[in-house]
Amino acid sequence: PELYRIHGYTPDDFQPGSPEHIERSLACYDEADRETVLRAFQRCVREGQPYDLQVPFTNARGERLWVRTTAQPVCKNDKVVAVVGNLHDITEHKRAAEALERSLAEKEVLLREVHHRVKNNLASIIGLLELQLATVDNAQMAALVREVGRRIKAMAIVHELLYQSESLSEIDLSRYLTALVSGLPTAFGHRHGVHIDIESAAVPMSLDCAIPCGLIVNELVTNALKHAFPEGKPRPGADECRVVVRADWDGTYYTLQVADNGVGLPADLDWTETRTLGLRLVNMLGRHQLQGEIELDRSNGTAFRLHFAPLDGQRR
């Protein structure tokens, strides 16, 4: 009964497996698919190749369906003596799959628009801070406003890259870090004196990890530009002032490093106990939010290394 229902015929119209059945069945396929199904059937008969196809189907009553047509050869003495075929109505399955695809596409558009709006809103906040700067006479207060602006920009860049990216769940960390640090030397007056290098291959990273990483890099690079190179000079023995930002992913852990060849931190400074907001943020974001380990290497300037695994629910 199911076979006749799919074709739109009655048992009086043909016998299953008869030449008339095959002819009427082929007539139900779209012209572009008809040859595909016929060739698959002929290969099954002649060469013993099974097939499994999903194609649109218009039955004798004019109903538009999707069907799955399969066939398996029955062989005897290495010869095909019969073909066992099946025809399944998969219309509801196809409709559900198409509805799911449409829903996912709509959600992707919506999520992309959310990232775009968040980026624009953060840009508006940065613009307001810059306007506020025009009314600030106190140099220390102006510096604090600029630091806040740079931190907000670090978050805004992530949303901008996600809006532009094919993936809405992760970004290329290398591209993010390049965009993040590109304007920092100019902001601190080091237009030609300090070279910032990004040493990173394409490292995919989720939004929840990328934002704290961006904030950490922003703080450490900013700290290096402000304090590592007094009078625009590197530590003794170095040829030029350099800051290197490096990111790696070994399949289990991320490693993020910011190193400079400057004068280094004071020997008696415990960076985890300092009252400066920048290093407190590095400690809080790296050890608490990312649940990682931070190492400080003072042997050749200053190098901070952060090792952490993807956050729960985002392991690869």
| DSSP code string of 135-155 | T---HHHHHHHHHHHHHHHHH
Which residue type, as a one-letter code, is found at position 235?
A: R
**Is 117 within 8 Å of 83 (Cβ atoms)?**
no
DSSP 231: G
Q: Where does residue 7 rank: exposed (0-12), middle (13-18), buried (19+ CB within 10 A)?
A: buried
> For the chain, what is the radius of gyration of the CA atoms?
32
3-state secondary structure of 65: strand
Judged by average pLDDT, the poorest of 67-76, 139-148, 154-163, 205-214 is 154-163
Which residue type, as a one-letter code, is found at position 217?
A: V
Domain ranges of the chain: 2-89, 102-168, 181-316
d(CA 1, CA 8): 10
Mean pLDDT of 82-98: 91
**Is 179 within 8 Å of 119 (Cβ atoms)?**
no
**Pair type for strands 204-206 and 254-260:** unpaired
**What is the torsional sign of CA 28, 33, 34, 40?**
negative
d(CA 204, CA 201): 10
Query: How far apart, in Å, are the Cα atoms of 296 and each of 75, 147, 162, 265?
Result: 72, 23, 31, 10
Residue-level pLDDT at 116: 79
The residues facing 183 across adjacent strands are none
Torsion, CA 222, CA 225, CA 230, CA 231, rounded to 10 = -140
Mean pLDDT of 212-222: 92
CATH class for the region spanning 2-89: alpha beta
pTM attached to this predicted model: 0.63
- Rounded to the nearest angstrom, the gap between the alpha carbon of residue 42 and the centroid of all alpha carbons in its chain is 45
d(CA 155, CA 22): 63
Give pLDDT tens digits for 247-285.
999 989 999 999 999 999 988 889 988 888 889 999 999
Q: Answer left, alpha or beta for residue 264, where phi above 0 means left and psi between -120 and 50 means alpha.
A: left
DSSP 85: E
DSSP 294: E
Confidence class for position 190, pLDDT limits 50, 70, 90: low
**Is 74 within 8 Å of 81 (Cβ atoms)?**
yes
The residues facing 72 across adjacent strands are 84
Residue-level pLDDT at 37: 92
The residues facing 51 across adjacent strands are 71
Q: Identify the helix (H) or strand (E) that includes residue 40.
A: helix 31-47
Mean pLDDT of 176-185: 85
Structure tokens at 48: 């013993």
The CATH label, of 3.40.1190.20, 3.30.565.10, 3.20.20.70, 3.30.30.60, for the domain at 181-316 is: 3.30.565.10
Structure tokens at 29: 């396929």
d(CA 247, CA 213): 10
Mean pLDDT of 128-154: 88
| Intrachain domains 2-89 and 181-316 with the same fold | no
